[in-house]
Amino acid sequence: MTSTETPVDNGVNTEFLLTARDMLTAQPEGAQFTWRVTNTWVKGTHSRTSVDGFFGLGAEQKHRADYQFDGDHPELFAAEDNGPTPVEMLLVSLASCLTAGVAAVAQNREIQLKSVAATLEGDMDVRGILGADPEVRNGFNRIKVTYKIDADASPEDIRALVAQSQKRSAVYDIVTNPVNVVVEVN
Amino acid sequence: MTSTETPVDNGVNTEFLLTARDMLTAQPEGAQFTWRVTNTWVKGTHSRTSVDGFFGLGAEQKHRADYQFDGDHPELFAAEDNGPTPVEMLLVSLASCLTAGVAAVAQNREIQLKSVAATLEGDMDVRGILGADPEVRNGFNRIKVTYKIDADASPEDIRALVAQSQKRSAVYDIVTNPVNVVVEVN
Q: What is the pLDDT of residues B89-111, one digit of tens each?
A: 999 999 999 999 999 999 999 99
Q: Residue A183 and residue B170: Cβ atoms within 8 Å?
A: no
pLDDT reading at B114 higher than 80: yes
The one-letter amino acid code at B31 reads A
Q: What value does the mean pLDDT of chain A take? A: 96
Among B92, B90, B98, CA closest to B165: B98
Mutate to test the interface with A, among B138, B148, B164 (most CBs of A within 10 A): B138
A-to-B residue pairs, Cβ atoms closer than 8 angstroms: 469
pLDDT band at A4 (very low <50, low <70, confident <90, very high): low
Instruction: Calculate mean pLDDT across residues B159-180.
Output: 98
Position A105 scores a pLDDT of 97
pLDDT reading at B24 higher than 70: yes
Q: Residue A34 and residue B85: Cβ atoms within 8 Å?
A: no
Q: Residue B103 and residue A41: Cβ atoms within 8 Å?
A: yes
CA distance to partner chain B, nearest, from residue A153 (Å): 13
| Closest Cβ–Cβ partner in A44, A54, A171 for B103 | A44
| Closest Cβ–Cβ partner in A35, A129, A181 for B87 | A35
Residue B157: closest C-alpha in chain A: A185
How many other C-beta atoms can be found within 10 angstroms of the C-beta atom of residue A66? 10
Position A120 scores a pLDDT of 98
Mutate to test the interface with B, among A63, A89, A144 (most CBs of B within 10 A): A89
Q: Residue B78 and residue A13: Cβ atoms within 8 Å?
A: yes
Mutate to test the interface with A, among B10, B35, B161 (most CBs of A within 10 A): B35
Q: What pairing do the DSSP bridges indicate for beta strands A46-56 and B59-71?
A: unpaired
Among B10, B91, B29, CA closest to A37: B91
How many other C-beta atoms can be found within 10 angstroms of the C-beta atom of residue A78? 17
Partners of residue A50 on adjacent β-strands: A38, A68
Position A3 scores a pLDDT of 54
Q: Residue A83 and residue B96: Cβ atoms within 8 Å?
A: yes
Q: Where is average pLDDT lowest: A67-71, A109-113, B13-17, B118-122?
A: B13-17
How large a percentage of chain A has pLDDT more than 90?
Answer: 96
CA distance to partner chain A, nearest, from residue B122 (Å): 5
Taking only the tens place, the pLDDT of each residue in B63-84 is: 999 999 999 999 999 999 999 9
Residue A185's contacts (CB-CB under 8 Å, 6 or more residues apart) are B146, B147, B148, B149, B155, B158, B159, B162
pTM for the full predicted model: 0.97
What CA–CA distances, in Å, run from A27 to A4, A23, A32, B127, B130? 40, 6, 10, 10, 14
CA distance to partner chain A, nearest, from residue B5 (Å): 20
CB A68 within 8 A of CB B65: no
Taking only the tens place, the pLDDT of each residue in A31-80 is: 999 999 999 999 999 999 999 999 999 999 999 999 999 999 999 999 99
Taking only the tens place, the pLDDT of each residue in A105-146 is: 999 999 999 999 999 999 999 999 999 999 999 999 999 999
Beta strand residue intervals within A96-172, DSSP E = 113-125, 142-151
Residue A133: closest C-alpha in chain B: B25
Taking only the tens place, the pLDDT of each residue in B126-163 is: 999 999 999 999 999 999 999 999 999 999 999 999 99
What CA–CA distances, in Å, run from B91 to A57, A181, B36, B145? 20, 11, 19, 10
| Total residue count of chain B as it appears in this document | 186
B52-58: long-range contacts, CB 8 A cutoff, minimum separation 24: B54/A74, B54/A85, B54/A88, B56/A76, B56/A126, B56/B30, B56/B32, B57/A76, B57/B30, B58/B29, B58/B30
Q: Residue A127 and residue B21: Cβ atoms within 8 Å?
A: yes
CA torsion angle A127 A128 A130 A131 (round to 10): 110
Instruction: Calculate mean pLDDT across residues A7-24.
Output: 94
Q: Residue B137 and residue A173: Cβ atoms within 8 Å?
A: yes
The region, left, alpha or beta by phi > 0 then psi within -120 to 50, assigned to residue A95 is alpha
Position B4 scores a pLDDT of 63
ipTM, interface predicted TM-score of the complex: 0.97
CA distance to partner chain B, nearest, from residue A3 (Å): 24
